[in-house]
Amino acid sequence: INHAQAADVPIVVAVNKIDKDTASPDKIRQQLTEYNLVAEEYGGDVMFVDVSAKQRKGIGDLLEAVLLTADAALDLEANPDTEARGVAIEGNLDRGRGAVATMLVQRGTLYVGDALVAGPSYGRVRAMFDEWGNEVEAAGPSRPVQVLGLTSVPRAGDSFLVAPDDRTARQIADKRESAERQAQLARRRKRVTLEDFDKVLKEGKVDTLNLIIKGDVSGAVEALEDSLLKIDVGDEVQLRIIHRGVGAITQNDVNLATVDDAVIIGFNVRPNEQVASLADEEGVEIKYYTVIYQALEEVEAALKGMLKPIYEEVQLGTAEIRQVFKSGKFGNIAGSIVRKGTIKRGSSARLIRDGVVVKDDLTVESLRREKDDVTEVREGYECGMTLGWKDIQEGDIIETWEMREKARE
C-alpha cells in the first residue's frame, strides 16, 4: 500500500479467501480505511472485489475492475503501427532456452526477428510465446509475451525497445550499462540524510523529511512516532512518517525509502547483511538508536539545521617501549621506537599492554630525539617520551591519536 501510494498510482483491492467460513470482507474494508483506502460502497473511490483464488471465484470481476480503474484513472493509448517499446516484467535463465524475458508491449508491435534492447541486455527475438504458451509471430500493445534470444536476463522494470540492427542494439545496451553504473554512484550521493537535510533544504530541493520507523516493540515505535510528530520547527519544513512497524529492517523498508527518499530509523533493531548491502547500494541512510531522546535530538537538529559537527578518532602513530628510564625531574621516560606513523608532542595517547588498554587518557608531555627536544618523530626512529604516568614497562605499546572533524557527505 505504501509503495502504491508513494508512486501515486490507482489501487484495486482484491479480498481473497472468501471461501473460508471465517471470511469477513466487510471487516477488511473497514480496516483498510485506516490507510485511506475507502471502498466505493462506503462513499470512496477504491474498487474492492471479493475473490477466491482456490475456487476461482470473482476472477472475472477482478479483471473488469482493473480495466475500469485503468480506464478512469489512466489515459492509456497506443499506436500499434510503430516500432515496439515496453517493459520487462520478469526474467529467468532457462537451461534449454537461455535467457527468457516476459515483456509487456506498451506501444507498437514486436515481431520475431526484431533486434531488441532490454535494459543492458540485447539480442534478436528468436521466438515469442503468449500467456498460454503458444508460439506467436507478433505482439501488439498491452500484450505480454515471453521472448527468447537476449544475451542476458533483463531485470523486472527494465524498458525495452526495437533497434534498427544488431550493432545498434549492442551500442544502446552498452550505453545503458554505463549509465546504470553512473546512476548507482549518483544514488549513493543524492539520497537525503539527516546530516545534509539542512543543505538541500536551503537549496530548495526538499521541504519534507520523510522517515520510516522500525522498532523492537510496538510501544517504543508508537512512543517514538508521537514524540517525533510533536517536534515544532515552524511551517517551512515538514516531518512525514511514511511507514512504521515492529521487527528487523527489511528489504521492503529499503525499497520504500528509495521510492520516497526517506531516512530509516531503527530503534533497537538492525537489518541483515543483505538488506544493509542493498541500503548501501541505493544510498539509503539507516540511523540506529537505543534511546528515544537521541533520535529526537538528531531529527530536530536536522530539521532546524543545527547538527553538531561529527568527530572521529584518527590514529597518528604507535611506538614500542624498549627501555624505561627513571628520572627525578621528568618521572619515568619511555625509551621507544616508532613502529607506525608519527609520534607528536602534545597528542593524546593510550598505553597498551598485552593487547589490553592500561590507561586511555594520556598525553605525550615531552618528546626527545637523542638530546634534542623535538615536536615529532617518524616511523623507524628511536625517541624518549614522557606520558605523565609511572606504570610503564618494556614491551608496552604507546598509541597516539587525535579527534578530527569528519566531513559530511
Closest-CA residue to 138 (of 110, 159, 118): 110
> Domain residue spans in the chain?
2-73, 85-187, 197-304, 312-406
The CA-to-CA distance between both ends of the chain, in Å, stands at 32
Report the topology of domain 197-304: Rossmann fold (3.40.50)
pLDDT tens, residue order, the chain (409 aa): 888 888 888 999 999 999 999 999 999 999 999 889 999 999 999 999 999 999 999 999 999 999 999 888 887 788 999 999 999 998 888 888 889 999 999 999 999 999 999 988 999 999 999 999 999 999 999 999 999 999 988 888 889 999 999 999 999 999 988 887 776 555 444 455 665 555 655 555 556 788 999 988 888 888 898 888 888 765 556 788 889 888 889 999 999 999 888 999 999 888 988 999 899 888 899 999 988 888 888 888 777 664 445 678 899 999 999 999 987 766 789 999 999 999 999 999 999 998 888 898 899 999 999 889 999 999 999 999 999 888 999 999 999 999 887 754 4
| Angstrom distance (rounded) from CA 89 to CA 103 | 6
CATH class of 312-406: mainly beta
Domain 2-73, CATH:
3.40.50.300
**Residues 338 and 319: beta-carbon distance below 8 Å:** yes
Same fold, 2-73 and 312-406: no
| φ, ψ for residue 54, nearest 5 deg | -65, -45
3-state helix, strand, coil in the chain (%, to 5): 25, 40, 35
Domain 85-187, CATH:
2.40.30.10
Sign of the four-CA dihedral 135, 140, 142, 146? positive
Closest-CA residue to 37 (of 28, 244, 17, 245): 28
Does pTM surpass 0.75? no
| Angstrom distance (rounded) from CA 147 to CA 126 | 7
Output the nine-digit C-alpha cell for 280. 548501501
Q: What is the CA radius of gyration of the chain?
A: 32
User: Burial of 230 by CB count in 10 Å (0-12 exposed, 13-18 middle, 19+ buried)?
Assistant: exposed
| Angstrom distance (rounded) from CA 366 to CA 363 | 9
Closest-CA residue to 303 (of 228, 237, 243): 237
